[in-house]
Amino acid sequence: MFKNKKEHFIFILMVCTTMVYIMSCYNVALIEGFSANIFLHAILGFPAAFVFALIVSPLIRAIFFKMFPPVVGNTESKAS
């Protein structure tokens, strides 16, 4: 999917940015209700949420791969 580390980094940055912004909008909508101020309040809280997501991401990845180690080789079942 990615040809080099630069493309991978850009993709992860775009996904993380989008996810953090959408979740910020969702959280503000839950607290204040749906209004035009959702997007403004989400932008104000976005930098802190984005930094937190970048810091916590490696920890979550490490925990996930300890719980579900990658499978090496062909794992398809061969039905007779």
First to last CA, the chain: 34
Residue whose entry in the numeric block shows the structure tokens 């039905």: 79
The number of beta carbons lying within 10 Å of the beta carbon of residue 33 is 9
pLDDT in tens, 27-73: 888 888 888 888 888 788 778 877 887 788 788 888 888 988 877 76
Q: What b/e string do you get for 10-23 counting C-beta neighbours within 10 Å, with b at 16 or more?
A: eeeeeeeeeebbee
Q: Where are the domains of the chain?
A: 5-67
For residue 1, pLDDT beyond 70: no
For residue 78, pLDDT beyond 60: no
